[in-house]
C-alpha cells in the first residue's frame, strides 16, 4: 500500500531530516493542509471528489438538504430576536463543497415576501483554494446577489465584533490537526513522528507545549497508564476567535464528538483518530498520507468552557436528531413519500443509531440574553452532561 502522495512524503521527510521527529499535530497539519500537496489543498484528480458519495466520506449535506433548511429556519428566528438587523450576517466556516450553503441560501429564498434574503450577507471561511473554487462553482448561480456572498481565507480576516447574526460550521473542528498524547508511568508524553527510511514511525517525547497540560488540567482528568488520546489546541484558539468575531448572535457547531467525560473515558483508551479513504475507515495515519482524510472527535466540554471564558455562553447542547426535530423536520418531510428514497435520505440524518446521535450540536450566544430556540425545543437524552467534573 502506498505510504502517500510522493511530493508530500518528500516534504515531510525533509522536515524530519532537518529538525528531527515532529509532533503528530505538525504531521497532520502537513498531511491535510500542506499548501501544495495537502489532502484538502490539492485540487482533486480530474473527475474525482474528496467529499461526496464517490469520494472518501460524505457529510449531511450530501445526504439531504434538510440540515441547511433547518439552519435557515433557525437563522430566521434569530433575525427576529435581533430585531431584523441590516445586514444579518451568516458566517460559515469550513464549507467543504458549499452544499450546506447552497441548501441554506435556497431555503432563504422561499419566502419572497420578507426582507430577510435582501438583508442577508453570507461569508464563507475556507483555507483551501481548491475547496474555495468548488464552493464558488456550487454557489454562484443566482442563489444570492454576487455582492452579498464573500469568501475569506481565515477567521482572523474578520474584524472583531463584525458579526451580528449567525456563525456556524458542520464538521470543522474534527478536521483541525490534533496533538496526540500517551500516558507512560503516570507521565503524559506526546506522540512524535519520525521516518526510518521506508516508513513513518512514532516516538514518545516530552510535551511540545505546556498548553497541552493546561488543557488536561482544565478537565481534571485522571488517565491510566497506556491511555492514548488527542488534544485539539486549535479548537481552543478557534473558539476564542469565534467569540471575538461575534457582536450579537449565535454560534452553532455541528460535529461528531462527546462531552469530555465520554471522550476521555475508559471506552476510548486508544483515542478517536480515524482516517477515511473511499468510504472506508482505518486507523493508520501513516498510509496514503495526503490521499486520505484524518479526523478526531470533538471535545464539546472544552469548547463550552473556552467559549464561556470569552463571553460566548452556552445556550444548549443537543444532537442532530433533536436539533432537526425542534426545527420542524416533520413539516419538512410531510410532502415526501414515506416509502421513497427522498424520505429515507432525510431520515438518515436523524437515525438514533447513526448520524442523528453521533452528530452533536453546540449552540452558544453572545451579546443577547439566553434565547429560547426552536433548535433546542427537544431535550436530548444525555441531559446536561457538558459540565466539567470537578476535582475530587
Ligand X SMILES: C[S@@+](CC[C@H](N)C(=O)[O-])C[C@H]1O[C@@H](n2cnc3c(N)ncnc32)[C@H](O)[C@@H]1O
Q: Give me the least distance between CB of 83 and ligand X, in Å please.
A: 29
Q: 182 or 253, CB closer to ligand X?
A: 253
Q: Give me the least distance between CB of 127 and ligand X, in Å please.
A: 4
Q: 101 or 183, CB closer to ligand X?
A: 101
Q: Give me the least distance between CB of 154 and ligand X, in Å please.
A: 6
Q: Give me the least distance between CB of 126 and ligand X, in Å please.
A: 5
Q: Which residues bind ligand X (CB under 6 A)?
A: 40, 51, 59, 61, 93-96, 99-100, 125-128, 131, 154, 170-172, 175
Q: 140 or 201, CB closer to ligand X?
A: 140
Q: 40 or 215, CB closer to ligand X?
A: 40
Q: 61 or 301, CB closer to ligand X?
A: 61
Judge contact between 294 and 4, C-beta under 8 A: no
Q: Give me the least distance between CB of 181 and ligand X, in Å please.
A: 21
Q: Give me the least distance between CB of 81 and ligand X, in Å please.
A: 25
Judge contact between 299 and 232, C-beta under 8 A: yes
Q: 21 or 23, CB closer to ligand X?
A: 23
Q: 125 or 251, CB closer to ligand X?
A: 125
Query: Which residue is it, cell 463543497?
Result: 97
C-alpha cell at 160: 472583531
β pairing state of 274-277 and 280-282: antiparallel
The separation between the first and the last C-alpha atoms of the chain, rounded to the nearest angstrom, is 48
Q: Give me the least distance between CB of 217 and ligand X, in Å please.
A: 25
Q: 21 or 38, CB closer to ligand X?
A: 38
β pairing state of 187-195 and 22-23: antiparallel
Q: Give me the least distance between CB of 362 and ligand X, in Å please.
A: 15
Q: 59 or 74, CB closer to ligand X?
A: 59
- 341 burial via Cβ count (<10 Å: 0-12, 13-18, 19+): exposed
Q: Give me the least distance between CB of 62 and ligand X, in Å please.
A: 7
Q: Give me the least distance between CB of 153 and ligand X, in Å please.
A: 7
CA 356 to chain centre: 16
Q: 59 or 364, CB closer to ligand X?
A: 59
Amino acid at each position: 500500500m502506498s505510504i502517500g502522495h510522493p511530493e508530500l512524503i518528500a516534504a515531510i521527510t525533509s522536515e524530519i531530516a532537518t529538525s528531527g521527529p515532529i509532533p503528530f499535530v505538525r504531521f497532520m497539519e502537513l498531511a491535510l493542509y500542506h499548501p501544495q500537496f495537502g489532502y484538502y489543498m490539492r485540487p482533486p484528480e480530474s473527475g474525482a471528489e474528496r467529499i461526496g458519495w464517490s469520494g472518501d466520506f460524505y457529510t449531511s449535506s450530501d445526504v439531504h438538504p434538510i440540515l441547511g433548511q433547518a439552519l435557515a429556519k433557525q437563522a430566521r428566528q434569530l433575525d427576529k430576536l435581533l430585531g431584523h438587523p441590516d445586514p444579518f450576517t451568516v458566517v460559515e466556516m469550513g464549507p467543504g463543497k458549499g452544499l450546506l450553503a447552497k441548501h441554506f441560501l435556497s431555503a432563504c429564498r422561499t419566502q419572497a415576501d420578507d426582507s430577510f434574503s435582501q438583508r442577508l450577507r453570507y461569508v464563507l471561511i475556507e483555507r483551501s483554494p481548491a475547496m474555495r473554487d468548488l464552493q464558488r462553482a456550487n454557489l454562484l448561480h443566482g442563489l444570492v446577489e454576487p455582492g452579498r456572498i464573500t469568501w475569506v481565507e481565515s477567521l482572523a480576516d474578520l474584524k472583531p465584533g463584525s458579526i451580528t447574526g449567525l456563525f456556524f460550521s458542520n464538521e470543522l473542528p474534527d478536521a483541525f490537526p490534533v496533538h496526540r498524547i500517551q500516558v507512560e508511568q503516570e507521565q503524559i508524553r506526546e506522540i512524535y513522528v519520525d521516518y526510518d527510511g521506508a516508513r513513518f514511525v512514532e516516538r514518545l517525547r516530552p510535551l511540545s507545549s505546556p498548553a497541552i497540560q493546561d488543557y488536561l488540567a482544565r478537565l481534571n482528568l485522571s488517565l491510566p497508564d497506556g491511555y492514548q488520546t488527542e488534544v485539539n489546541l486549535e479548537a481552543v484558539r478557534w473558539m476564542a476567535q469565534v467569540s471575538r468575531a461575534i457582536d450579537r448572535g449565535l454560534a452553532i457547531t455541528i460535529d461528531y464528538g462527546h462531552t469530555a467525560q465520554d471522550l476521555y473515558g475508559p471506552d476510548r483508551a486508544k483515542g478517536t483518530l480515524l482516517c477515511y479513504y473511499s468510504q472506508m475507515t482505518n486507523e493508520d495515519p501513516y498510509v496514503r498520507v495526503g490521499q486520505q482524510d484524518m479526523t478526531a472527535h470533538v471535545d464539546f466540554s472544552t469548547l463550552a468552557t473556552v467559549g464561556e471564558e470569552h463571553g460566548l455562553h452556552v445556550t444548549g447542547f443537543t444532537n442532530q436528531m433533536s436539533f432537526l426535530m425542534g426545527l420542524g423536520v416533520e413539516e419538512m418531510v410531510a410532502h415526501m413519500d414515506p416509502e421513497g428514497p427522498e424520505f429515507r435520505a432525510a431520515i438518515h440524518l436523524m437515525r438514533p443509531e447513526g448520524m442523528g446521535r453521533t452528530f452533536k450540536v453546540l449552540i452558544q450566544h453572545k451579546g443577547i440574553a439566553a434565547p429560547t430556540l426552536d433548535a433546542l425545543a427537544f431535550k436530548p437524552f444525555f441531559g446536561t452532561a457538558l459540565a466539567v467534573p470537578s476535582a475530587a
